[in-house]
Amino acid sequence: MTDEQQLFSEFTPATAADWAARAQKDLRETPLESLTWHTYEGFDIKPYYTKEDVQHLPFLQHKPGDFPFLRGNAGTDNNWLNVQQVVITGDGRDGIDKAADALSRGADGIHFLLEEEQALDLPYLVSKIDLTQHTVNYALRNAPHSFLKRLYTLLSEQNISHRNLKGFMHFDPLTGNGKLSEEESKAVTQVLDLTKGSSEFYGITVCGTNFSSIGASLTQEVAYTLSAAVAYADRLTTAGEPLESVLRNMQFCVGAGTNYFFEIAKLRALRLLWAAVVEAYQADPALAAKLRIHSTTSSWYQTTLDPYVNMLRVTTEAMSAVISGCDSLTVLPFDSTFKPSDEFSERIARNVSIILKEESYLNKAVDPAAGSYYLESLTHELAAKAWDLFKQVEAQGGFEAAYENGFILGSITDVSRQKFRDIATGRMVLVGTNKYPNPKEKIDFDPEELIQRADFDTTRAAYPTEVMRMATELHLRKRKRRPRAVVAVIGHTEKRHINASFAQEFFSCAGFETELQQYDNVEQATDRLLHAAAEVVVVSTSEASYAREFGPKLRAHKTGPAIIMADNPEDMKEELVANGFDEFIFEDCDMSTILELVQKRLARDEDSRNGH
């Protein structure tokens, strides 16, 4: 017997029942079921996972590079392309110069966002960037075939082989508008015909980001991306395009959000389900390996407030994307929500991917998530839920029919509303926005101009909170001071201090100057607060007698601040409102009503100041 065998023979293997018994002992009176996490994805996450949870999963025996490609389509390394996004306006020369510079400083590819595709100076592009050596993607709104034909003609005239072209065409009216017109279908078919000889250039891109960017769950993103891909396949093969050509040219563009482990499971589940789709078409299983996945860090979770936190956000998002095996990755600049990115923010975004590769060595291990009881179970649960949702869509006639009848957008709206509610109550945390704000942050843009800008993304998770912060910022600029919130604690119980701290953090996140004041009794508090210079007064006290006495007295305040109780009044709410309280703030309350109240109060004060 070896030393290793002697060592491990001293330990008794722990079963799932053993773990449950130990956990329940540590929890004492708290039931173990209370630790179960109910997710937006439609399934529950247990507090721990064991070998028993994965023994029934058939795909654990597969190696990287093997069908059904859950562990990726590469068997030797986990390399990915670091792709920088570049906006192109006019003839695009400035953007092309920026792209050429990025390729010399660590980028592996470029993702051009073309605002006027016909105006792009293609000869200048070809002269500055070797399209046979670098991956270049083109995102455009219209006529992809015309643009590509112009490019191929130029390459031919300059004796450059189109066979070595690398990249993809980012043209996806289906997920963007919910339908594919005959003209658009014909355009995609023409793109496929043009790129038949370009094995490393993908002609069909299905953008799951059109779902994730408006708050969809991961289950919805996977299911609706698959459904849209099937819709493309059906439309294009009906139009005469060979199935093999469609499947070979299929690429998914998906977002990488902040839910770290779930995002790792997402791409693994997506590859697994795509293999099932290819199998259902009775196509060569090897075609499933041709699927290309381009990941981009999430726009939905990016924030305008405390924007440097976005640097941290995109790092974990990028990690989850590369650990799960994306083929290419775009990291969005941290300041992209409120201004055009500059050299600094673009360099930082580019370097995130470089550090993960050159210093963290995430390109060395294929599917490092394999074998984790939790991640393998999570992949299975996500795949199963997404497949069920995919089948629901197909039962309604497919993607276009389900989009037209409102099922797809309606289901996403239900989830996004729940997420907004959770952000409003603090259950979902956006660091620097609804929790842990930077009290010294200086906003160096015009908040009024930003909110009114057509391209300001109002679908993001942080937007409702940001609107409140913008209102306080405008107050600061017009009055030369921040609006002020006084949080008064009457009495000394621990519960009152907890409620007061919660209220103080909320108003700090809203951009207010806050002050916590301690009082022994309501008389003392009333005398001081009647003369407090504040737009909001928060009272942390639970005694009804205090509440009934305090509210009416404070109504005599000469500037009429909003009066808020830091507690849940439950059945006393109507009585307390009648006695002078405007709102109630406590953990899990709906913050949107308080935000609305305070915004109206600030607007009223401004109107009064201007004589309206």
Q: Between residues 177 and 550, which one has the greater pLDDT? A: 177
Q: Which residue has the higher pLDDT, 91 or 64?
A: 91
pLDDT of amino acid 608: 63
Spatial CB neighbours of 222, under 8 Å, sequence gap ≥ 6: 208, 266, 269, 270, 273, 382, 383, 386, 390
One domain for residues 203 and 258: yes
Is it the case that residue 45 has pLDDT exceeding 90? Answer: yes
Q: Does one domain contain both 112 and 174?
A: yes
Q: What pLDDT is recorded for position 461? A: 93
pLDDT computed for residue 3 by the predictor: 46
- Three-state DSSP state, 191: helix
Predicted local confidence at residue 327, as pLDDT: 95
pLDDT tens, position by position, 217-273: 999 999 999 999 999 999 999 999 999 999 999 999 999 999 999 999 999 999 999
Question: Across residues 572-585, what is the average pLDDT?
Answer: 84
For residue 110, the enclosing domain spans: 71-404
Task: Kindly state whether residue 27 falls inside one of the protein's structural domains.
Answer: no
pLDDT at 610: 62
Task: Please identify, among 351, 373, 404, the residue that sits at the C-terminal boundary of a domain.
Answer: 404
The answer, yes or no, to whether residue 1 has pLDDT greater than 50, is no
Structure tokens at 133: 């050596």
36-50, 186-200, 218-232, 416-430 — which one is most confidently predicted on average?
Answer: 218-232
- pLDDT-derived band of residue 210, with 50, 70 and 90 as boundaries? very high
* Per-residue pLDDT at 2 exceeds 60: no
Q: Which of the four pLDDT bands, split at 50, 70 and 90, describes residue 402? A: very high
The residue ranges of DSSP E strands in 369-462, in sequence order, are none
Q: pLDDT confidence of 589, banded at 50, 70, 90?
A: confident
Given a cut of 60, whether residue 6 has pLDDT beyond it is: no
Rounded to the nearest integer, the mean pLDDT of the chain is 89
Q: pLDDT by residue (tens digit) across 490-506? A: 877 777 778 888 888 88
Residue 223 to residues 108, 176, 212, 363, Cα–Cα distance (Å): 30, 15, 12, 28
Q: What are the residue ranges of helices labelled H in 439-521?
A: 447-452, 463-479, 494-509
Q: What angle do CA 310, 313, 316 make, to 5 degrees?
A: 150
The pLDDT of 44-59, averaged and rounded, is 86
pLDDT at residue 8, as a whole number: 62
Amino acid 98: pLDDT = 97
**β-bridge pairing 37-38 and 44-45:** antiparallel
Quick one: 469 and 397 in the same domain?
no
Residues 346 and 489 occupy one common structural domain:
no
Tell me: do 395 and 455 sit in the same domain: no
pLDDT at 60 over 90: no
Number of folded domains in the chain?
2
Residue 195: band (very low, low, confident or very high) from pLDDT cuts 50, 70, 90:
very high
| Residue 418 counted as domain residue | no
Is the same domain home to 207 and 306? yes
**CATH number of the domain residue 515 falls in:** 3.40.50.280
Query: Model-level pTM?
Result: 0.88
Task: Note the pLDDT tens digit of each residue in 457-513.
Answer: 999 999 988 888 888 888 888 888 888 899 988 877 777 778 888 888 888 888 888
pLDDT over 90 percentage in the chain: 57
Q: Is residue 54 part of a domain?
A: no
Identity of residue 375: L
For residues 227 and 89, membership in a common domain is answered with: yes
Q: For residues 122 and 9, which has the higher predicted lDDT (pLDDT)?
A: 122
Q: Is residue 433 in some structural domain?
A: no
Last residue of a domain, one of 404, 438, 463: 404
pLDDT surpasses 70 at 376: yes
Q: What is the pLDDT of residue 602?
A: 75
List the strands of the sheet with 583-584, edge to edge: 513-519, 484-490, 536-540, 562-565, 583-584
Q: Is residue 438 part of a domain?
A: no
Rounded mean pLDDT, 506-524? 86
Once rounded to an integer, what is the mean pLDDT over residues 566-589?
Answer: 82
List, for residues 146-174, the tens digit of each pLDDT value: 999 999 999 999 999 999 999 999 999 99
126-130, 163-167, 560-564: which has the minimum mean pLDDT? Answer: 560-564
Q: Evaluate whether 487 touches 515 at the Cβ level (below 8 Å).
A: yes
Per-residue pLDDT reduced to its tens digit, 384-394:
999 999 999 99
In a domain, 568, yes or no: yes
Query: Per-residue pLDDT averaged across 278-300, rounded?
Result: 94
- Final residue in a domain of this structure, among 351, 375, 404: 404
* pLDDT tens, position by position, 322-358: 999 999 999 999 999 999 999 999 999 999 999 999 9
Contact 561, 537 (CB under 8 A): yes
Inside any domain, residue 180: yes
Q: Which pLDDT score is estimated for 4?
A: 46
Q: What DSSP assignment string belongs to 118-171?
A: GG--HHHHHHHS-TTTSEEEEE-SS-HHHHHHHHHHHHHHTT--GGG--EEEE-
Output the pLDDT for position 612.
Answer: 53
Q: What is the mean pLDDT of residues 21-35?
A: 86
520 and 400 assigned to the same domain: no
pLDDT at 184 over 60: yes
Considering the domain architecture, whether residues 377 and 457 belong to the same structural domain is answered as no
Same domain, yes or no, for 128 and 243? yes
The separation between CA 8 and the C-alpha centre of its own chain, rounded to angstroms, equals 44
Do 214 and 280 fall into the same domain?
yes
Which of 168-177, 420-429, 536-545 shows the lowest per-residue confidence on average (mean pLDDT)? 536-545
Residue 94 pLDDT class (50, 70, 90 cuts): very high
**pLDDT value for 596:** 78
**Angstrom distance (rounded) from CA 192 to CA 159:** 22
Res. 588: pLDDT tops 60: yes
Q: Is residue 481 part of a domain?
A: yes
Domain co-membership, 466 together with 384 = no
CATH number at residue 239: 3.20.20.240
